[in-house]
Homo-oligomer: A and B are copies of this chain.
Amino acid sequence: MADAAPKVRLFVDGPLGSGAEARLSREQAHYLFTVMRLGPGDAVALFDGENGEWRAVVADAGRRGGALVCAERLRAQTVGPDLDLLFAPLKKARTDFVAEKATEMGVRRLIPVFTRFTNSERVNRDRLRAHAVEAAEQCGVLSVPDIAEPRRLDAVLAAWPAERRLMFCDESGAGRPALDALADSRRLGGPPGPWAVLVGPEGGFSPEERAALAALPGALPVSLGPRILRADTAAVAALALWQAAMGDWRRQAPQAARAGEHTEICAASGPR
């Protein structure tokens, strides 16, 4: 327990647990043993998205994968709110950005949706996943969001589950200020059930999509102020407002548990 916190933190396939052996991908092995020059006996922090974070010790530093053995649990798994982010794919770098930011903001599932006016026609799920994993590794997040199969927005709305609320950013100016709408929704609603945030494409929603959204019982149109925001900005802003008004940013943050550990790469904005 007196050991310094491991400097490297990796997401691996689980299940992790006391004495469990974790295998690495070739890329991870290359990073650990060639780039970082770790060897047998050195410690690494591992997480699998389900069983918390573990201090693991290098047992085999082989380049084809090597092996690590879990020694002790550093943090128990936490589960954030049941929050999906639906977003219309953007240019490559901005889509990467959305995956990264959604991970930091605690989104549980990323759902790329093709809309009538979506510019981008293709989504590389592996690439989105890689950006989400990297963000989780670097920012001390314990879960990596699922990346759903891209779908058409009209199909998603047609099959929308009744219990999930949907906050969407309404570019027509008809939405109420986001915090007012969320506060009312909290007053009216019972327990905070599953939610989703939808950020439209750069071309806005089509009349048909707008009608489908208006017909959805749990949909909450909101405004994000008087200036136009790019879609990636809108995603971060909308997630921040939702988390602060409805999600786990409402609680007093727990006291810093891991101060200084990820300081090279992560910001000083959440508790450690």
Interface residues of chain A, those whose CB is within 8 Å of chain B, are 78, 80, 97, 101, 104-106, 117, 119, 138-141, 169, 171-173, 175-180, 199-205, 223-234, 236-241, 243-245, 247-256, 259-260, 262-272
Contact = CB atoms under 8 A, between A and B. Distances in A.
B236 A237 contact: yes
Contacts of A249: 177-179, 223-226
Given A104-B230, A171-B269, A241-B244, 13 more contacts: A78-B226, A117-B263, A140-B227, A140-B228, A173-B271, A180-B250, A199-B269, A202-B266, A225-B244, A227-B270, A230-B269, A234-B269, A236-B236
Nearest to A202: B267
B172 A227 contact: no
Contact of A248 (B78, B199, B225): B225
A179 B247 CA distance: 12
B177 A227 contact: no
B172 A271 contact: yes
B179 A245 contact: yes
Contacts of A119: 264
B263 A203 contact: yes
B256 A172 contact: yes
A251 to B, nearest CB: 7
Contacts of A272: 171-173, 204, 228
B228 A104 contact: yes
A49 B173 CA distance: 23
- Which of A97, A202, A251 gathers the greatest number of chain B CB atoms within 10 Å? A202
B203 A270 contact: no
Contacts of A172: 256, 271-272
Contacts of A223: 249, 252-253, 270-271
A246 to B, nearest CB: 10
Given A104-B229, A139-B227, A204 B268 contact: yes
B200 A267 contact: yes
Given A227-B105, A255-B173, A268 B237 contact: no
Shortest 5 CB-CB contacts between residues of A and residues of B: A173-B271, A234-B269, A231-B267, A171-B268, A225-B249
A243 to B, nearest CB: 6
B263 A224 contact: no
A37 B244 CA distance: 47
Contacts of A259: 204
15 contacts: A173-B256, A173-B270, A173-B272, A199-B268, A200-B267, A204-B263, A223-B252, A223-B253, A224-B240, A225-B244, A226-B270, A228-B270, A228-B272, A234-B270, A240-B240
